[in-house]
Amino acid sequence: MYKFTTQTQTPNSQTENRGRIISNMNRNHKARAVLLTAIEVFMILLCAGWVSLWLLKPTDLWTRKWRVAENTARASVFGYYGLNFVVYTFPVVALVIIGLVYLNIKHSKPQTCRQTKFSTFSNTLSNPLVVNSYVGILSGIELLGVALFLLFLAWTFYARISKDFRKLMPEESLNLKIWELKYLRVATRFGLLAEACLGLLLLPVLRGLAPFRLIGIQFEASVKYHVWLGTAMVLFGTFHGASTLFIWGISNQIQDQVWKWQNTGRIYIAGEITLITGLVIWITSLPQIRRIKFEIFYYTHHLYIVFFVFFLFHAGDRHFYMVFPGLFLFAIDKILRIIQSRTETCVVSARVLPCKAVELTLPKDHRLKYKPTSVVYVKIPRISRFEWHAFSLISSSSVDDETMSIVVKCNKSWTKSLYEIINTEREGESDQLKCISVAVEGPYGPASLDFLRYDHLILIAGGIGVTPLLSILQEITSMKNNTKFICPARIQLIHVMKKSHEIALLSSILPLLLKRLDGKMHLQLKVFVTQELQSSSTLTELLNKFSQMQTIQSSVNCSSYAAHGLESLGWMAVITGLISIVFFVALIVFNHIVVPTKKASKKTKDRTPSWISDLLLMSSFALAILSGAVVGIVLRRRRLKKGNLALIQSQNQTKNTTPSSVARGSRQEEHEIYFGERPNFIEIFSNINNPAGESDIGVISSGPEAMNLSVAKACKQMSGGSRKGSKKNKQQFSFHSLNFTL
């Protein structure tokens, strides 16, 4: 017979255990903080080393040291090619890998309180300093970055051209005058400026491997840097190519020079093809074409493959390694995105809004978490098997574990087709929707919840631009009852629209708008209808009117899978590291197999035809990407096996169900609606009551560029004026823009 005894803990022992747990937690937090700080310092040093490499490369000191390093590497297993990859390419790849590990560690730490407020200096750098219709909205950090990059370009050009002019040697084949020869050297050095822009061109458009997340910049915001770099590259490249052709033309050497191979084996015609391809990509990406004919912009952008291949043949592997990091990371990012989005799911339900917009609900794995303002890319094979379109999520994963929602404004060819499909599918059976297959890529979101740090939050939206702000409100609502979070005490939502029926876009937050909340958060809505005269209906009546929209459920379960999102940050770091190792090993192995190494000398590399070096690099690249794809596919299949859906219908029990009447306990007196006018943001900001004294006010603007400019000007003016006033009424308006250009 067994004798069971129970031990009871005394209050003192319970207190000791609690104290021990808290002590261990504090110790873990301190260790994590030290580790994160060490990683930050290492990343800064690594980035500084890569920048120093670009600065030193045009100097005679680097040329002498590099020749010694090349000769030493050729005689070793490392090889000339391995040296170039490690020095020129790997620092950026290593920075991204370490950054993924850093974010993974940082995200594993739960946020327990409001984030620390930015200092006055940080606010000055992040707030808009230049607001102009031509250049847009530029913060202090952006101006500093642009200035440093222009200074780097000026230094590179000066160092190269001064060296050329000191060692100016006329070419007998061209028989040029001294000014023509100098002009040709200038044109050549402009090609190196285009190369510098190309080296950074693809980094801003990385999604899963985005390095800009480390400094808090989302993918959608960093796209403008890609546009700037692409424009500068095309301008420099056009001057380089046109000026070279001009010199050949006046010397009657165009026919001979275009088809001539350089001493290193590179061919000039490849450069002309590169330039033409770049011009085609740039012209079709202009707003006048992109906004009207998105399909032309989308398909011509895939000519980047032709561009990089012919750039390799024109510039050779020596220069290609300088621009290779962006292409290397872009290829890894692309293959992971293809693998992630290949599995199709289906639309769970749809709702047609009166403003000719469609709200789609998509299934997701309950483990998939995303932050507010996140974006997903959606492809509907029935409309196009190749086109992807970005949409902001209006839902919060903290509120709904099983589904996520987007709103599509149906005013263009692709979106019109979607609108027609949904209307056609529901004609036969009004409350059922036939299967609509969807491929989902993402979600991509910010690295942190910065909007939590503000005392007062002002959300400003124009038309469909309200969608990312809806996810912010949903997230704050889910946190207001959580004692671990301190949410903004006051929130204003200002929605500017052309017609009153666009109020239907707010249907997902109707409970927030029409029911009283507790004292922890105060939400006020201001609606500005610009193209309608005064209406007899109140704002509450309009909200109730447009809330009566039918949700069309899917009639069949056409997919066994939900959206699972990207691979974890840790696995993406592992895959990137694996691909880098495979590429490096393949490069060295192919080097020893193809390139003769019996007698290594200074001219060993020169005796190797350039096309062999180019094919060697492309073969190693293809093999590495293939190995990464295999690993990615295995991980994705393993993940999908764990995430099969039981029934899609079970996910819809609590989704998209709007009460028939939500006016009970309404807050009609607190909301405002204005017809036939636009908001005066300076007046709105001036009327903000600030009983607590000093206040940090966050302003998030999402909408047309003209509206964002107007909001930025108001923030700049009000923040500047407040600093001159008394300390008692000091207010700082921190501007943030959500501008989606793709």
DSSP assigned state of 689: -
Whole-model pTM: value is 0.86
* CA max distance for the chain: 111
DSSP single-letter state for residue 691:
T
CB 631 within 8 A of CB 289: no
Q: What is the pLDDT of residue 661?
A: 41
How far apart are the C-alpha atoms of 584 and 324, rounded to whole Å?
13
Pairing of strands 490-497, 456-462: parallel
Q: Which tokens is 445 given?
A: 């979101």
* Among 507, 502, 501, residue whose Cα is nearest residue 394: 507
Residue 261 forms beta bridges with which residues? Answer: 267
- Per-residue pLDDT at 727: 47
Measured distance CA(494)–CA(458) in Å, rounded: 8
Q: Which of 727, 726, 729 is nearest to 688 (CA)?
A: 729
Name the CA dihedral angle for 294, 296, 301, 307, rounded to a multiple of 10 degrees: -160
85-114 in b/e form (b: 16+ CB < 10 A) is bebbbbbbbbbbbbbbbbbeebeeeeeeee
> Residue 299, Cβ neighbours under 10 Å: how many?
12
CA 186 to each of CA 156, 642, 725: distance values in angstroms, whole numbers, following the listed order: 12, 60, 53
pLDDT of residue 605: 46
Residue 249 burial by Cβ neighbours in a 10 Å radius (0-12, 13-18, 19+): exposed
Written as six digits, the tokens of 341 are 């989005």
**CA-based nearest residue to 94, from 47, 48, 128, 139:** 47
- The stretches in the chain having pLDDT less than 50 are 1-7, 110, 112-121, 598-606, 645-668, 694, 722-729
CA 537 to chain centre: 41
CA–CA dist 430, 552 (Å, integer): 7
Q: Report DSSP state, residue 738.
A: E
CA distance 635 to 336: 11
pLDDT for the residue numbered 165: 87
711 and 698 Cβ atoms separated by less than 8 Å: no
pLDDT of residue 687: 83
Rg from Cα positions in the chain? 29
Beta bridge partners of 432: 553
